Structure 1
Amino acid sequence: MDIRLEWGSEGVAALGADCAVLVVVDVLSFCTTTDLVLGNGGRVLPVRWRDHRGEEAAKARGAILAGENEWTLRPSSVTQIPSGTLLALPSPNGATLCDTAATTGAHVLAGCLRNATAIATRAAELADGRPIGVIPAGERWGIGIRTEANTFGPLRPCVEDQLGAGMIVAALDGYGRLSAEARLAATAAKAIDIAEALTECSSGRELAEAGHANDVKLAAELDTSSTVPLLRNGILEDS
């Protein structure tokens, strides 16, 4: 298959050896926040979740650690981030998967709903006829922003990443044969009201109940960005 889709860290392991490009999709919130940072002229250094060595290494490279100032993993916190900022952004899903995918030798892109078409176009250019892997991050049961545990629970598939991945796959129309998983995601994404789905899904409701409904709104804006975060030397930069 030319375009394949598998979930989470297990998906990276399954596709990393065969795919020229891996697209990590974490809509709520790592990849959406990354898109906004890069759209303002900044860069993002993904940091594994609860990795204090990784955080210190990022700061040694001149990065500002999210959470130590006004900028956090929340998309709405970075809408006015200054150009030139290098933000070290830890997250349990998207950032951790980007770091994992970097070890496979594939080109690594960070995609979301906001930049779905731009990501698909760049993925096709980079892959140049070779297979593309799309990795919806999902979540982990028992792991959240306020969780202190270092261990990861079992995979919790989520609506927002399924739809983000599906929109990227749909935008790759004509590139080649789709796996059944990729085809299902694309069909679902094209058949549903994206904004409504993100508002009603578990992750969207949880964020709204915590007072962060605007983060969901920002994440649901389909194809409003042409930013393409590409991982180079451990940093996501607009390619």
Structure 2
Amino acid sequence: MDIRLEWGPEGVAALGAGCAVLVVVDVLSFCTTTDLVLGNGGRVLPVRWRDRRGEEAAKARGAILAGESEWTLRPSSVTQIPSGTLLALPSPNGATLCDAAATTGAEVLAGCLRNASAVAARAAELANGRPIGVVPAGERWGIDLRTETKTFGPLRPCVEDQLGAGMIVAALDGYGRLSAEARLAAVAAKAIDIDDALTECSSGRELAEAGHANDVRLAASLDSSGTVPVLRNGILEDS
């Protein structure tokens, strides 16, 4: 298949050897926040944890660790981030997958609903006829930014990443044959109201109940951005 879709770290492992490009999709919130940072002229250093390990990784690259200033993993916190900022952005889902994908030798992009079409176009350009893998992150039960364990909890598939991945696949129309998983994601994404789906899904409701409904609105803004985060030397930058 020319376009394949598999979930989470296991998906990276399954697709990494055979795909020229891997697109990581973590809509709420790593990839959406990354899109906004890059759209303001910044860059993102993916780090898995917001603790001593994250602090050391940020210091080594001269980055500001999100959560220790006004900037956090929340998309609404970075809408005015200054140009030139290198933000170390912790996420046990999207950031972790970017790191894992980098070890496969594939080109690594970070996609979301905001930049779905732009990311798809760049993925096709970079792949140049070779297979593309799309990896919705999902979440992991029992794993958060401050979890000390190095093991993963069970996968929690989520609507927002399914739709983000589906929109990227849909934008790759004409590139080649789709796996059944990729085709299903694309059909679902095109058939549903994105705003309603993100508002009503578990992750969207959890954020709204915590007072962060604006983060959901920012994440649901389909194709509002032309930014394409590409991982270069461990840093996501617009390319």
Q: How far has the Cα of 1:187 moved from its partner?
A: 0.1
**Secondary structure in structure 1 of the residue aligned to 2:103:** helix
Query: Are 1:188 and 2:188 an aligned pair?
Result: yes
d(CA) in 1 for partners of 2:114 and 2:78? 15
d(CA) in 2 for partners of 1:175 and 1:37? 29
Contact map agreement 2:49 2:145 (CA 8 A) in 1: no
Give 1:30's aligned residue.
Answer: 30
Contact map agreement 2:51 2:146 (CA 8 A) in 1: no
Q: How far has the Cα of 1:147 moved from its partner?
A: 5.6
Per-residue CA distance 1:87-125 (angstroms, 9 max, x = gap): 000101000000010000000000000000000000000
Q: How many residues align?
A: 239
Contact map agreement 2:3 2:176 (CA 8 A) in 1: yes
Q: Please list every run of 5 or more consecutive structure 1 residues that lacks an aligned counterpart in the other structure.
A: none
Give 2:148's aligned residue.
Answer: 148
Give 1:10's aligned residue.
Answer: 10
Q: How far has the Cα of 1:59 moved from its partner?
A: 1.6
d(CA) in 2 for partners of 1:46 and 1:29? 13
TM-score in terms of structure 2 length: 0.97
Contact map agreement 2:101 2:108 (CA 8 A) in 1: yes
Give 1:79's aligned residue.
Answer: 79
d(CA) in 1 for partners of 2:65 and 2:81? 13
d(CA) in 1 for partners of 2:50 and 2:230? 23
d(CA) in 1 for partners of 2:213 and 2:199? 8
Contact map agreement 1:59 1:88 (CA 8 A) in 2: no
d(CA) in 2 for partners of 1:50 and 1:148? 10
d(CA) in 1 for partners of 2:8 and 2:104? 14
Matches within 5 A, 1:53-68: 53-68=53-68
Per-residue CA distance 1:146-193 (angstroms, 9 max, x = gap): 766654211000000000000000000000000000000000000000
d(CA) in 2 for partners of 1:89 and 1:118? 22
**Secondary structure in structure 2 of the residue aligned to 1:104:** coil
**Secondary structure in structure 2 of the residue aligned to 1:19:** coil
Query: Are 1:202 and 2:207 an aligned pair?
Result: no
Contact map agreement 2:141 2:156 (CA 8 A) in 1: yes
**Secondary structure in structure 2 of the residue aligned to 1:163:** helix
TM-score in terms of structure 1 length: 0.97
Contact map agreement 1:22 1:133 (CA 8 A) in 2: yes
Contact map agreement 1:50 1:150 (CA 8 A) in 2: no
Distance 1:145 1:56, change over 3 A: closer
Query: Are 1:51 and 2:51 an aligned pair?
Result: yes
Contact map agreement 2:90 2:145 (CA 8 A) in 1: no
Q: How far has the Cα of 1:48 moved from its partner?
A: 1.6
Matches within 5 A, 1:91-130: 91-130=91-130
Per-residue CA distance 1:122-158 (angstroms, 9 max, x = gap): 0000000000000000000122357666542110000
Per-residue CA distance 1:12-50 (angstroms, 9 max, x = gap): 000000000000000000000000000000000000235
Q: Please list every run of 5 or more consecutive structure 2 residues that lacks an aligned counterpart in the other structure.
A: none
**Secondary structure in structure 1 of the residue aligned to 2:168:** helix
d(CA) in 1 for partners of 2:18 and 2:193? 33
Give 2:168's aligned residue.
Answer: 168
d(CA) in 2 for partners of 1:146 and 1:49? 6
Distance 1:229 1:92, change over 3 A: same
